Amino acid sequence: MPGNPIRLQSTTTPRDRARIRGHRRSVFVLLLACASFSAIALPGALSAQTDYYNTDKGRPLTVEDAYATERYAFELQLAPVRLERTAGGIYQWGIEPEIAYGILPRTHIEIGAPLSYVDTGRGGRKSGIAGIEISALHNLNVETRTLPALGIAGDVLLPVGAFGPDEAVFSATGIATRTFRWARFHLNGQYTFGSGDGGETSLASEREAGGTAEVSRWLAGLAVDRTFPLRSMLIGGEVFASRSRDGSDEVQWNTTIGLRKQLSPYFNIDGGIGKQLSGDSRSWFLTFGLSRAFAIRSFFPGA
């Protein structure tokens, strides 16, 4: 098995083994942080707050809800971190600082700059920007007894940085959210337009090298979450499927569980753990994030 510890010791140098042990310590620290966060989150109750409801993409689940950032409000993603380990022993750190602004009623725009650092454990290292992402989300309606909340989103990933795509990549997403007394359900369907190959480096080879420029041809997923209003906390899980744009017909299945907690009227924290169930990499990944909500008085009408 590619990730077997005994085999790694017999085929790597002491320096490589020390680097791998360092990565294992990093994984342990992240797991400890998530466990400590859960322990802290359970006892205390905060005043009534609702920002923890807004499950943005990757915070902590890939499947998001149909609601946008409130009008005139900003949300700054301070430290959305992702650590991934593939079955081939490739470790990849990713961080994607973003800022969203509620520009219109039930509508926000967002810009982010994903960064990636890769260490294969064989002395090979790569780091760089994985494009510039610009997106917008519009909530079409308020949820009623008979109709779920519906939303549409569009985004473009620009060809910027060492891990960026060879050309601009456009995606469109349809979102539905349905709330029951005991849980909320979210359904996402995304399609990416344009050719999947272009330039000297294919998306498949970028994936093997640990890059993050890969964008799925399509993605469909279902998530369920349970909210605890008195604790300003949300726990959720998801299953989603996707297919790569590199020409492969194989469908990749993934699952994630995560927790989101509102620490104050301004700060949210979240963490998650996921697994790719099919496909070549069969990777495990951990996520951790911290966001800051704020407003600028001069942006309000009549201020």
In single-letter form, the type of residue at position 101 comes to: Y
How is residue 143 annotated by DSSP?
-
Which of 98, 124, 113 minimizes the C-alpha distance to 210? 124
- Tokens describing residue 190: 């995304």
Model confidence over 28-41: pLDDT tens digits? Answer: 555 454 444 443 33
Give pLDDT, residue 105: 95
Place of tokens 């050719």: 195
Place of tokens 């994903």: 114
- Tokens describing residue 25: 């310590």
Q: Is residue 89 within 8 Å of 112, Cβ to Cβ?
A: no
- The whole-model pTM stands at 0.77
Sign for the pseudo-dihedral over CA of 207, 212, 213, 214: positive
In single-letter form, the type of residue at position 239 comes to: V
User: What is the phi/psi pair of residue 33, to 5°?
Assistant: -65, -40
Residues 6+ apart with CB under 8 A from 5: none
Residue 105 CB coordination number (10 Å)? 10
Which of 103, 101, 52, 99 minimizes the C-alpha distance to 76? 99
Give pLDDT, residue 273: 96
What residues in the chain have per-residue pLDDT under 70? Answer: 1-50, 120-123, 195-214, 247, 303
Helix or strand (DSSP H, E) at 5: helix 5-11
Across 7-45, b (16+ Cβ under 10 Å) vs e yields eeeeebeeebeebbeebeeeeeebeeebeebeeebeeee
Which of 285, 265, 266 minimizes the C-alpha distance to 275? 285
In single-letter form, the type of residue at position 165 comes to: P
The rounded distance, in Å, linking the Cα atoms of 45 and 50 is 13
Q: Which domains does the chain have, with CATH numbers?
A: 5-299 (2.40.160.40)
- CA dist 89 → 38, 226, 289 (Å): 28, 34, 24
